[in-house]
Structure 1
């Protein structure tokens, strides 16, 4: 079910209830949650060893801190726009199919070394805190370029974990190494030089077509999470994260407006509906949402205008038009005492009705009967309830009750 279908379903339930109220991802191994689209999978170290096709020179394994990085090789990631320098006696074993990053082969075939990037869910601080609790060190280190990151160092079984993470513009850039202890002791200076020389080119990331696809997917994921929490304060976090990625997305404002309205914060809900309409003035759901909030704020004349605009935009969607008709009619007779106008809207709803599960003809007869009853026309009200009971037996008790009530 897509986001728009979810919202329409939620809105329909809200309207119907009110009207009847008359009674690091899988890729590389960073443990804080990253984009699920990251495709580069963990490769078992034995698999790496068995598939290694290059033999590397081990004579320089004890390189000093003063190693000239100008002689090093360079790996550039086009998808996320970052660059990693690495020693000339290392090689690249493979890169991921979706361009997240690369594996490196060192002099020691038992080492697991990789560089990668993916979208972050902004829970990195929790990851770092949990890492400290586990007994590993977390150190603040800046790159030469000036980006601040966290370096994690600690034992992992019989090896040493060396992991450097930079989170920038909701992208997590990671250099990860799981090394034999002896190799780490001899080459820590080399590793420090690698992370300090990481470069990030944000502009190339933002202009990447793959980046745009990732942003779209990320926004959809955040919206799905938010819509599961409609009406709860927790939903706002996901809406706001989505807006950081896509600040001109009208649907996010619309969905956030609905959540705020269900929470009872109509003033903020109104602002979000207005922003949604500003960004996309041709979407009927946004006008219905704004009309509903204005009704809740007792601004009935303004609400009426936006119901009418929503109906105008619903010419090719009969089911939605029925929702608009019965919603506006409810306001007209309950809050504005415009009974005749409300009756016309109920008639229009009957004319357009597709007999959906939410608004079948019998239900609309009941709404129309309520309107006549509020107007003081008990004969027509009884007639409407009778027609409803003839179409659907669930309204029989209501018809009989009103018949007895009218007889007294």
Structure 2
């Protein structure tokens, strides 16, 4: 009798597991992947839609991603701190967006990312906050890290923001 009970239990488990509704997949809208790097208390966000990843502190209050699948708010729940990473096919340096980067108070520089690629970093004071904007263009896609933070947050986290920016990585896309 015991082997029959055990067999029924295993069969029930298998039936329940197999009967779960499979999720319908939408092309290019794969949910984001967050991996934890325990050695440094950093996480890695992977965006399948645009094929990029970026690392950020595990302690930052992030959300689960944007509804359109373009990216993630890396720092959420504070109206004075907005840090996001996203991909786009729109050039951020052309109108209607590009005008914001013509402010003479903003410094533009070329930096080398951890993967050896060159990206443009724009930073400075804008509308009472610090703007920290990184963009890397590759194959018609613009990979971006945008931070609008308080001066105090920037003073305390400038090195961390640079480390986050430099961690931006373009993933190999399958042909």
TM-score, length-scaled by structure 1: 0.31
1:29 aligns with: none
- Change over 3 Å in CA distance of 1:172–1:115 after alignment to 2: same
The reply to whether residue 73 of structure 1 matches residue 34 of structure 2 is no
Any conservation in 1 of the 2:71–2:85 contact (CA below 8 Å)? yes
The reply to whether residue 198 of structure 1 matches residue 161 of structure 2 is no
> Structure 1 CA distance, aligned partners of 2:123 and 2:74?
19
The reply to whether residue 177 of structure 1 matches residue 144 of structure 2 is no
Q: How far does residue 131 in structure 1 lie from its aligned partner after superposition? A: 2.2
Q: How far does residue 125 in structure 1 lie from its aligned partner after superposition? A: 7.4
- Change over 3 Å in CA distance of 1:69–1:186 after alignment to 2: farther
1:162 aligns with: 132
1:392 aligns with: none
> Structure 2 CA distance, aligned partners of 1:148 and 1:182?
28
> Structure 2 CA distance, aligned partners of 1:70 and 1:162?
23
Q: Give the unaligned 5+ runs of structure 1.
A: 1-67, 208-408
- Change over 3 Å in CA distance of 1:129–1:112 after alignment to 2: closer
Mapping 1:7-406, distance limit 5 Å: 70-105=40-75, 110-121=80-91, 124=93, 131-204=101-174, 207=175
SS in 2 for 1:86: strand
Any conservation in 1 of the 2:51–2:171 contact (CA below 8 Å)? yes
> Structure 2 CA distance, aligned partners of 1:91 and 1:139?
29
SS in 2 for 1:194: helix
Higher strand share: 2
Superposed structure 1 runs of 4+ greater than 6 Å apart:
125-130
Q: How far does residue 130 in structure 1 lie from its aligned partner after superposition? A: 6.7
The structure showing larger relative contact order (alpha-carbon pairs under 8 Å, at least 6 residues apart) is: 2
User: Can you list the C-alpha shifts for 1:280-335, whole angstroms capped at 9, x where unaligned?
Assistant: xxxxxxxxxxxxxxxxxxxxxxxxxxxxxxxxxxxxxxxxxxxxxxxxxxxxxxxx
> Structure 2 CA distance, aligned partners of 1:129 and 1:96?
25
SS in 2 for 1:92: coil
- Change over 3 Å in CA distance of 1:69–1:119 after alignment to 2: farther
Higher helix share: 1
Q: Give the unaligned 5+ runs of structure 2.
A: 1-37
TM-score, length-scaled by structure 2: 0.68
Mark the structure with the bigger radius of gyration. 1
RMSD of aligned C-alpha atoms?
Answer: 2.6
> Number of aligned pairs?
137
User: Can you list the C-alpha shifts for 1:1-30, whole angstroms capped at 9, x where unaligned?
Assistant: xxxxxxxxxxxxxxxxxxxxxxxxxxxxxx
Any conservation in 2 of the 1:69–1:87 contact (CA below 8 Å)? no
Q: How far does residue 169 in structure 1 lie from its aligned partner after superposition? A: 0.7
> Structure 1 CA distance, aligned partners of 2:47 and 2:72?
8
> Structure 1 CA distance, aligned partners of 2:121 and 2:39?
20
- Change over 3 Å in CA distance of 1:124–1:132 after alignment to 2: closer
